[in-house]
Amino acid sequence: LTVSLRVGKYKKTHKNIMINLMDILEVDTKKQIVRVEPLVTMGQVTALLNSIGWTLPVLPELDDLTVGGLIMGTGIESSSHKYGLFQHICTAYELVLADGSFVRCTPSENSDLFYSVPWSCGTLGFLVAAEIRIIPAKKYVKLRFEPVRGLEAICDKFALEAQRPENDFVEGLLYSLEEAVIMTGSMTDKAE
């Protein structure tokens, strides 16, 4: 599966394995984790988590992106300034290795494999499940838009907003090297 316009040659020339690993296996609000299979999409995760008052700390906005693609590829989003890339909110991976063995890896258990899985494009093993941190969600996001002019001012403003702990989201839209809008968002339970 891909959401890219570029389809790698290997996707057409190698044997495809059809899998049906698209379930949310567990939500544990005490441990603050959700355990999912690799083909679970952001749309599935957010629909379930939001309905019970939770969300992912790094939340890619395309509903079709899969957990496996975000882990094995490069998952980044406007909340990444606070929590890191998508891989940084993952607490465990479950893999089937080339020899057919099953392994669970965490920062303290099979840690060499745990830190090698992100961006590996499936070369180290077949991802069958992942545990991902969750955080309490609020009802709304208050967005602020600020136009900024000048490349140095744009960079300074983006860096400043990314340092502020009250900003849950920071994103920049560049219209040229000299014009941008820096957007910041904070979760809130009140609509103004």
Which DSSP symbol is given to 192? -
Residue 9, pLDDT > 80, answer: no
Summarize pLDDT for 122-165 with one digit per residue, the tens. 889 999 999 999 999 999 999 999 999 999 999 999 999 999 99
Q: What are phi and psi of 139, to 5 degrees?
A: -70, -35
Q: What are phi and psi of 20, to 5 degrees?
A: -130, 50
Residue 23, domain extent: 14-136
- Tell me the β-bridge partners of 148: 180
Q: Which residue has the tokens 């080339």?
A: 98
Specify whether 84 is located in the same domain as 145: no
DSSP reduced 3-state for 43: helix
What pTM does this model have?
0.84
Specify whether 38 is located in the same domain as 77: yes
Q: Which residue has the tokens 């939340």?
A: 59
How many helices (H) and strands (E) the chain has is answered by: 6, 10
Q: Where are the beta strands (DSSP E) in 134-178?
A: 135-136, 140-149, 169-174
**Segment (H or E) for 50:** helix 42-51
In a domain, 6, yes or no: no
In a domain, 39, yes or no: yes
Per-residue confidence band for 20, with pLDDT thresholds at 50, 70 and 90: confident
Domain count, the chain: 2
End-to-end Cα spacing for the chain: 41
Identify whether the C-beta of residue 154 lies closer than 8 Å to the C-beta of residue 182.
Answer: yes
In a domain, 21, yes or no: yes
Summarize pLDDT for 35-83 with one digit per residue, the tens. 999 999 999 999 999 999 999 998 887 888 999 989 987 766 666 778 8
In the predicted model, what is the mean pLDDT of the chain? 90
Specify whether 175 is located in the same domain as 160: yes
Specify whether 178 is located in the same domain as 126: no
Q: What are phi and psi of 168, to 5 degrees?
A: -80, -25
**How many CB atoms are located within 10 Å of the residue 68 CB?**
24
Specify whether 116 is located in the same domain as 150: no
In a domain, 3, yes or no: no
Specify whether 91 is located in the same domain as 169: no
